[in-house]
């Protein structure tokens, strides 16, 4: 049973029996916060739920996505899957995106676009190196509101 199926089951149980989160928690011998966290997962639309499940991501990955506005969640999920981010890196990505979302709201949209253009250019440059037989790779990680880029190029 997936984390989303479990959340849906809890929701159905609550509705059918008219129970509170605390009452369900007692019945299952768990905490109310456990039930609340499961139910929060239903805040992700079904398409995102399916992608999260298909990618084999954890509940903590999913909960990190909940901290973003709805329209940013799909972008974040794509980056998490593409870059194979850990939970910690995913949480930092969400923090980074929230920081930039705030910048967008106060006129910093150009900075975010510039970062995306830079990352696309770097990805294309590394692909060009690989095409001529140069082994290269990149790793992008996040720490707070910082993006850390590590590039490895093997010459030889």
pLDDT tens per residue across span 103-115: 555 555 667 777 7
| The model's pTM | 0.66
Average pLDDT over residues 6-33: 93
When the candidates are 1.10.10, 2.60.420, 1.10.3470, 1.10.287, the CATH number that belongs to 44-154 is 1.10.10
* Average pLDDT of the residues in 99-128: 72
Rg (CA), the chain: 20
Identify the CA nearest to 150 among candidates 103, 20, 142: 142
Q: In this structure, are residues 63 and 33 in contact, taking their beta carbons and an 8 Å threshold?
A: no
List the end-to-end C-alpha distance of the chain, in Å, as a whole number. 48
pLDDT band, residue 116 (cuts 50/70/90): confident
pLDDT at 14 (0 to 100):
93
pLDDT at 40 over 60: yes
- For 63-73, the pLDDT digits (tens) are 999 999 878 89
Those residues whose C-beta lies under 8 Å from the C-beta of residue 123, and which sit 6 or more positions away, are 138
Local structure of 30: helix, strand or coil: coil
């Amino acid at each position: 049973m997936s984390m989303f199926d479990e959340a849906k089951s809890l929701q159905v149980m609550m509705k059918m029996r008219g129970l509170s989160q605390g009452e369900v928690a007692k019945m299952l011998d768990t905490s109310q916060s456990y039930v609340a966290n499961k139910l929060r997962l239903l805040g992700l639309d079904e398409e995102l739920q399916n992608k999260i499940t298909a990618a084999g991501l954890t509940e903590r990955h999913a909960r990190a996505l909940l901290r973003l506005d709805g329209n940013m969640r799909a972008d974040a999920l794509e980056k998490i899957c593409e870059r194979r981010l850990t939970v910690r890196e995913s949480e930092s990505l969400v923090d980074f995106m929230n920081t930039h979302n705030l910048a967008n709201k106060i006129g910093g949209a150009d900075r975010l676009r510039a970062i995306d253009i830079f990352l696309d250019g770097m990805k294309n440059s590394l692909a060009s190196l690989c095409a001529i037989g140069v082994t290269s790779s990149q790793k992008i990680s996040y720490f707070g509101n910082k993006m850390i880029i590590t590039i490895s190029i093997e010459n030889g």
